Amino acid sequence: MDQKLEQHFVALLEENQNIVHKVCSLYTHDQDAHKDLFQEITIQLWKAYPKFRGDSKFSTWMYRVALNTAITLYRKSKKRVRTQDYDSVIFKIKTEDYDPTEEQQLKLMYKAIRQLNDIDKALVFLYLEDKNYKEIAETMGISEVNARVKMNRVKNKLRTILNP
Amino acid sequence: MMDELDLLKKDWQRKGDYFPKVSSDEIHQMIWKKSSSIVKWIFIISILEFIIPHLFYLFPPSMQLKEGFEMYDRMGITPWFIGASVLQYSIIFYFLYQFYRRYKEISVLDNAKALMAKILKTKKTVTYYIITSLTFLFMTCVFIAGYFYFMDDIEQVLQLPENAKKISPTKLKNIFAGSILVLGIIATVCFGGLYYLIYGLLLRKLNRNFRELKKMEM
C-alpha cells in the first residue's frame, strides 16, 4: 500500500479516533487493555481500508470494524497485571454545570453497562451513538424487530439498576 | 427529571473529548504492528496442524523408509500402504484447499453475526480434517493390530531376535496386536484432547457471543 494511502488513512483515523476510544472504554477494564484493543482495531481498520469505497462515511464504516474487532476478533492478552481501576480514570468528566447527583447516576450507569455481555454492550454503544434500529440491525446481523426488542430489554435493565 | 438514558446519551457525546489523543505518529507505528486476532491464530494453528504430522512422513531418514518398505513387502501390504498414502494425501490437499477458501471468505466488513459464522465455519473445516485424520490413524492401528493377530509367521515377517522366538507365537501376536491397539487409542485420545483444548480456549468468547446473537433470533 502506498504512502499516500497510509497518510490519508492516518489522518482520517486521527480525526475519528474517539469512536475507537469509546468502543475500547466499553470492552476493556484498564488502560493497558484499552491501548491493546485500540491497536488491534487500528490494525484491522488499516487491513480493511483498501476496501473502503467512500460511499459511506468513514466514521460509519469504522463502527462495524471496531465492534467486530471488540466482540469477535480480539483476544485479550493475559500477560499484564491489572493496574488502576478504569472507571476512576475515564469517567472524570467535569463540566461547568457539574452536578454530583448526576455524576453519581452516570457512574452507576456506566458500571451497569460494563457488566453487560459483549453483544448487549454493542447494542448500547450503537444506541448511545444515535444509530437507528436499521443501522443497529445491519451492523449486528439481526433483524430490526429483534434489535428493537433486545434494546428495550437492555434499557429497562439499566433503568431498574438506577431506580431499584 | 431528565430521563437517565437521555442523560447518559448526552454525557456519551461529550465523553470523546476526555480520552487522551493518539497522535498521527503513533497511528503510523500501530498499523505495522502484528495483529493478535483470533482469525490469525486459527490460521497459524491450523497450518501447523496440517504440516507437523506430515513432516515425519515426508522427510524420513532414507534407511527407515527402505526398511519400512522391506517390511511391508514381507507383510504383503505394499499396495495397501501406497493406496492408503495416496488417499491420505488427497484428503489433506482437499482439506487444505477448503480451509484456504473459508479463510479468504472472512471479512471484518461483514456484519457481526456473519463474521462469527464464517470464522466458525473455517474452524469447522479444520475440525472435519482432524476427525478424518484421527479416524484414519485409529483405523490404521486397528488394521495393523488385526493383521498381526491373524498372522501365521510373525517371527519371520518382523525378523525378531533369537530370544524373542522363545515366546509362543500366539502370545507374541497378542502382545503386538494389543500394544498397537492401545497405542492407537492413546494417540487418538491425546491428539483429540489437545485439539479441543487449543480451540476451546481460543474460541470461547466467540462461541459465547455467537450463541447470544442466535438467541435473539429465537
Look at residue A34 in the predicted model and tell me its pLDDT.
93
Task: Give CA–CA dist B122/B100, Å, rounded.
Answer: 9
Look at residue B70 in the predicted model and tell me its pLDDT.
78
pLDDT, averaged across chain B: 84
Q: How far is CA B195 from CA A77, B11, B101, B192, in A?
A: 21, 46, 22, 5
CATH class entry, domain A1-89: mainly alpha
CB atoms inside a 10 Å sphere around CB A70: 25
Q: Domain boundaries in chain A? A: 1-89, 91-164
pTM: 0.81
Q: What is the ipTM of this complex?
A: 0.82
Dihedral, B179, B184, B190, B191 alpha carbons, nearest 10: 150
The percent of chain B in helix, strand and coil, each rounded to the nearest 5, is 85, 0, 15
Could you tell me what percent of chain B has a pLDDT over 90?
Answer: 27
pLDDT higher than threshold 80 for residue B190: yes
Task: Give CA–CA dist A45/B156, Å, rounded.
Answer: 66
Across the interface, which of A11, A43, A139 has its CB nearest the CB of B24?
Answer: A11
Look at residue B1 in the predicted model and tell me its pLDDT.
39
Q: Domain boundaries in chain B? A: 37-216
A59: closest CA among A97, A22, A30? Answer: A22
CB atoms inside a 10 Å sphere around CB B148: 22
Task: Give CA–CA dist B32/A84, Å, rounded.
Answer: 28
Look at residue A20 in the predicted model and tell me its pLDDT.
95
- With CB atoms and an 8 Å threshold, state whether A75 touches B202: yes
Instruction: Find the range with the poorest average confidence among A60-74, B178-192, B203-217.
Output: B203-217
Look at residue A89 in the predicted model and tell me its pLDDT.
43
Look at residue B36 in the predicted model and tell me its pLDDT.
83
Q: Which has more pLDDT, B53 or B98?
A: B98
- With CB atoms and an 8 Å threshold, state whether B12 touches A25: no
DSSP state of A115: T
- With CB atoms and an 8 Å threshold, state whether A119 touches B111: no
Residues B15-40 pLDDT 10s: 777 788 899 999 999 998 988 888 98
- What's the 3-state SS for A32-88? HHHHHHHHHHHHHHHHHHHHCCCCCCHHHHHHHHHHHHHHHHCCCCCCCCCCCCHHH
Task: Give CA–CA dist A92/A100, Å, rounded.
Answer: 12
Q: Does residue B18 contact residue A92 with C-beta atoms inside 8 Å?
A: yes
- Surface-to-core class of residue B109, CB atoms within 10 Å of its CB (0-12 exposed, 13-18 middle, 19+ buried): middle
Task: Give CA–CA dist B44/B51, Å, rounded.
Answer: 11
Task: Find the mean pLDDT for residues B86-102.
Answer: 90
Question: How many residues comprise chain B?
Answer: 218
Which residues on B lie below 8 Å from A99 (Cβ)? Answer: none
DSSP state of A114: T
Segments in chain A below pLDDT 50? 81-86, 88-93
Regarding the domain delimited by A91-164, which CATH topology (the fold level of the hierarchy) does it fall under? Arc Repressor Mutant, subunit A (1.10.10)
Residues B151-174 pLDDT 10s: 777 766 767 777 776 778 788 888
Task: Give CA–CA dist B140/B134, Å, rounded.
Answer: 10
Determine the residue among A49, A71, A120, A150 to mutate to test chain B binding: the one whose Cβ has the most chain B Cβ atoms within 10 Å.
A71
pLDDT higher than threshold 60 for residue B62: no
Across the interface, which of B7, B110, B209 has its CB nearest the CB of A105?
Answer: B7
- With CB atoms and an 8 Å threshold, state whether B213 touches A13: no
Q: How far is CA B12 from CA A130, A148, A157, in A?
A: 10, 20, 18
Q: Does residue A42 contact residue A62 with C-beta atoms inside 8 Å?
A: no
Q: Does residue B91 contact residue B99 with C-beta atoms inside 8 Å?
A: no
